[in-house]
Chain A
Amino acid sequence: MNAHAHRVAGQRLPRLDGIGKVTGKHVYAADFTLPGMLFGKVLRSHRAHALIRKLDISRAAEIPGVRGIITSADIPAVRFGQAVRDTSVFALDRVLFVGHPIAAVAATSLEIAEQAIAAIDVEFDDLPALFDPEAALDSNIRIHPDWESYKALPIIARSGNISGRARIHAGDVDAAFASAHRVYEHRFTTPLVHPGYTEPRAAVADWDANSNVTVWSNTQLPFDTQNTLAEILDLPAARVRVIVPGIGGGFGGKLRIGVEHFAALLARKTARPVKVMTTSEEELTSAYPRQATVVSLKTAVDREGRLLAREGRIIVDCGAFAGSGPGTAAISLQIMVGPYKTPALALEGIAVYTNKVPSGSFRAPAGPMANFAVESQMDMIAKDLGIDPLEIRLRNIVKEGDLGPSGEIHKSVSIEECLRKAADAIGWEHRNPEPGRGKGIACSWWMTTGGSSGVYVKINPDGTATLVSGAVEIGSGAITGAAQVLAEELSLDLTDINVAGVDTQTAPFDYGAQGSRTAFSVGNACLAAASDLRRQMFDLAARQLDSQVDTMVLRDKHVVAGSKSISIAELARISRLSGGGLIAHGTAISPSPAYDPTRLENHPLPAWNSPSYHAHAVDLSVDPETGSVSINRYVVAQDVGFAINPTYIEGQIEGGVAQGIGQALSEEIVYRDGTVMNANLTDYKMPTAQDVPDVECILVECASAAGPYGAKGVGEPPCIQPPAAINNAIAAATGFWLRSLPMTAEKIAEQLRAGRT
């Protein structure tokens, strides 16, 4: 590798799509239009659980300007989904949550479509509903009476309302509890929160003369969307083309089909292009929020605070469809162990159906919920034993070669460095600088999601390179990062790389912009493609320069062989004339680490690729009477393996912490009797610029074996620790911990008053 000079990779270079974004020229899916386009709206249920007695679209169909209406009667009864294929496009014989789609209308204007929606007559017979996940576990009420007939991934264990149950066990938990110095039991709850992207979900669909459909959408997973659409439309996938013009944030909320199927179905019905876009209200009632959870932890320690055993259960409320509930319940188990050595484990993650919005994979699914529990309890244990919270962690953290929860081996371990640096930066020696002010820490680990990526790279006769990838740039700068890797390997400048738009028809498969994998995986694919291009260039240069390949290097956009050289641009020109051009295909798939399958039951993601380690430290003040929290300083020490572009990595950390602060202090989708009470941005409270401090980033580089230049995934981890770190700081300031999120001023004020009496 020519990586040592790091002219490009590792540099703070401006992102490739910046100018378009600051001038308003960048086109997002929400901006995309086609001539003759109709506007689609979806009729959504106002009942949480009810049989559909009557569905009459005749009044709506008569409204001038309405061009097409579809219901479940118009489409095959396909069920789709990831872990469990339980989702239908429209409600079939019953609605399962408030927001469940029942019909869709296309009309010549949005207003007419809205009028038509209001004119569809639906009558319901209510069914008993389940809103509480714990009640749903044992209830005789079946949200999916035909659950046994659904196809599912073989690894997933389901029964009744349980859409997935995973377990991890090791050692002898009972013996450990029996002989422990102390055993601590706590229960925590976390609510639904919305990913909060500022661009609504949008799709435009158009069918061509050969009955192929193109969908322009802001999906994070164009190939997954292509597959799901193909199933719904009953077409071979090759006849479905998904293009992502641009996307205004995703954070895992734009992974799965959102409005693309409505657009495609309406476009087919009306033989016109159709655009469907969600409203704020639809986002807060019918999108893919983070699951609400209940976490119970029972932890045994010795006199020195060393972890002996942990018994834990997380109940993940997946809402009316399984979505990523089963996966989230399973991943929670690794977070419940944390970056700690715990010899005995008995952990269970259960995903359960309720009659609420089906949830999804918001940034680090499982992370903030399970970490809130684990890291809060860690501090409670520390206080009870009279041990400093940093010290108790240092006594328990894993070291290189230690076993992880699934029996995998921890490698490239940096958790100690992260903890010490974060604690040092926050001024850990003075945890209570003044009354009402405290400091807290929390740490975790996280995966770099695997899956494959492919790229095509061609060198152009002007010396630039075109990068064709199926991975969407969702804002993180990951594609710029991959381009930096490519430029580094080809001795080009970053600005010599042209990134092609994402189009399933022409791009190689990519597992998707999710799970902190994009820069890692696309970067690796670029390394492979660059390696092939180097070989092609050297072979061609050998003939042109009459030199040996093994004397050649790439430098300053030239192939250099001793005193002779030829430019990459010239080689590209020659190659075009003589043989079709310099073009390479690179693929990458992350290796799966070895683990001990006997520890696991029905766990779909047993071992993590290239995990990262991280620690957060916060300094905050609590108003002693109002309970209001003001964050004074926030520090993150995150192991990024290798910082491909420190500026955008900092951006991920700063933004992730802001989301974490929102989850910690103010965000919650509030349900009452199955209806969302705050389905607007007035009452769904995301942090403004005055709610977030200047987050301080310490980038730790402990190289991974598998990542480009040793990089590890970066995007998700920063939102994991804020709730626990903030809870621990609140405890340092006030003497008590909260057990539920969000930790509002009201909850804190109530605790403060209770403490006084």
Chain B
Amino acid sequence: MSFDLHKPATISEAVGLATRLAPAARYIAGGTDLVIQINRKKISPDHLIDLGRLPGLVGIAETAHGFSLGSLTNYRAIELHPAFQGRLSCLVEAARVVGGHQVRNIATVGGNIVNASPAADFVPALLALDAVLEIAGPTGNRTVGLEQFIVGPGKTELRPAEIVTAIRFSRLPDRSATAFLKEGRRKAMEISVVCVAACLTLDESGSRCVSARLAVGAAAPKAMRPKEAEACLSDQPAGRASFAKAGRLAAEAAAPISDVRASAAHRRHLVAVMVERALTMCHQRIVEERR
């Protein structure tokens, strides 16, 4: 059950260790998923490589085009960040529902993404912002969209020894807003039954949709962007009819399962309801910001 715990001081040292110790080595960030999996004997790595000492991976930075989240930034830091209280509020709303304060003080956004649970709350919020990942690895650095990065339940296209170093997304244009909603069986400390993130941009008149990004979690093998639902909003009047249609299309695109938390039918129903509501919230927020 035990392993060797390594504490590299630089990214290249970490990557080197992972390459040398493969395949029985895993990176550990916050460890909130990994340690539980080890304790439950779901995985038994011989080596854990602790990323906690690596420089430059913690923090939230403004860039020329938007923001960069260091992959080892914890959720509490994200939920409290002043820059995310406005148009980017879906990030705060999603961060806030990841476990309780104790989990959020340790769990990292990068660790959560790589864990790739289909029910991860923060992934839909990042998908709605079209986030991209910066990745460092043995063959150098690369960039990949979050949507392509997660391929299935617990599966990403992370290559051996690679480390996600940052998550980037762009600032939103004027007349944009985001929203995140979650439904569960109780009001806190919950794995989502369904979660939804929406990002809406309206035209100059404020009455027509220019673009929308929707992301749905816990209703498919991976968090997904229902493209037909997004497309149906293009150039449509912002309002109940178009939002409800988007909800219906999103529900059709979902592929939920039945499990001990909810039935597939209920999840599909919630997708429709929550997509409509998230879009409505975005609309209200855009209207309020204009005032």
Q: Interface of A with B (CB < 8 Å)? A: 111, 625-626, 628, 630, 665-666, 670, 677-678, 682-683, 685, 687-691, 744-746, 749-750, 753
Contacts and interface: CB of A to CB of B under 8 A. Distances in A.
Contacts of A666: 185-186
B273 A625 contact: yes
A734 B100 CA distance: 32
21 contacts: A111-B1, A626-B183, A626-B270, A630-B187, A666-B185, A666-B186, A677-B260, A683-B191, A683-B260, A685-B185, A685-B186, A685-B190, A687-B186, A688-B100, A689-B188, A690-B186, A690-B187, A744-B185, A745-B185, A749-B266, A753-B269
Contacts of B187: 630, 688, 690-691
Nearest to B261: A683
B191 A682 contact: yes
B262 interface: yes
A628 B183 contact: yes
B186 A749 contact: no
Given A626-B270, A682-B191, A745-B185, 9 more contacts: A625-B273, A626-B183, A666-B185, A683-B260, A685-B190, A687-B186, A690-B186, A690-B187, A749-B269
B275 to A, nearest CB: 12
A632 to B, nearest CB: 13
B266 A746 contact: yes
A750 B183 contact: no
Contacts of B141: none
B131 to A, nearest CB: 27
Instruction: Label chain B's interface by main secondary structure.
Output: loop
Interface string B107-135: 00000000000000000000000000000
Interface in B235-287: 260-263, 266, 269-270, 273-274
A392 B186 CA distance: 33
Contacts of A677: 260
A683 B260 CA distance: 8
A111 B41 CA distance: 12
A687 B1 CA distance: 34
B231 interface: no
A682 B266 CA distance: 20
B80 interface: no
Which 9 A-B pairs rank lowest in CB-CB distance, beginning with the nearest? Answer: A690-B187, A688-B188, A690-B188, A746-B266, A625-B273, A677-B260, A678-B260, A666-B185, A685-B186
A175 to B, nearest CB: 46
Given A678-B260, A683-B261, A688 B266 contact: no
Contacts of B269: 749, 753
Interface range on chain B (Cβ under 8 Å from partner):
10 to 19
Contacts of B191: 682-683
B24 interface: no
The residue in A626, A630, A678 that gathers the most chain B C-beta atoms within 10 A of its C-beta is A626
Contacts of B266: 746, 749-750
Contacts of A750: 266
Contact of A626 (B100, B189, B190, B273): B273
Interface string B159-203: 000000000000000000000000101111111000000000000
A666 B274 CA distance: 21
A279 to B, nearest CB: 10
A682 B193 CA distance: 12
Nearest to B194: A626
A683 B262 CA distance: 11
The residue in A678, A687, A746 that gathers the most chain B C-beta atoms within 10 A of its C-beta is A746
Contacts of A630: 187
A745 B261 CA distance: 11
A687 B188 CA distance: 9
Nearest to B277: A625
A6 B168 CA distance: 68
B1 A745 contact: no
Interface in B58-75: none
Given A626-B183, A746-B266, A749-B266, A688 B189 contact: yes
Contacts of B270: 626, 749
A106 B262 CA distance: 40
A86 to B, nearest CB: 31
A749 B270 CA distance: 9
Contacts of A626: 183, 270, 273-274
A451 B125 CA distance: 59
Nearest to A687: B186
Contact of B260 (A670, A687, A690): A670
A678 B190 CA distance: 14
B260 A688 contact: no
Nearest to A115: B1
A691 B260 contact: no
A665 B188 CA distance: 14
A750 B187 CA distance: 20
Contacts of A628: 183
Nearest to A662: B186
A630 B262 CA distance: 19
A689 B269 CA distance: 28
B188 A745 contact: no
Contacts of B262: 746
Contacts of B261: 683
B180 to A, nearest CB: 15
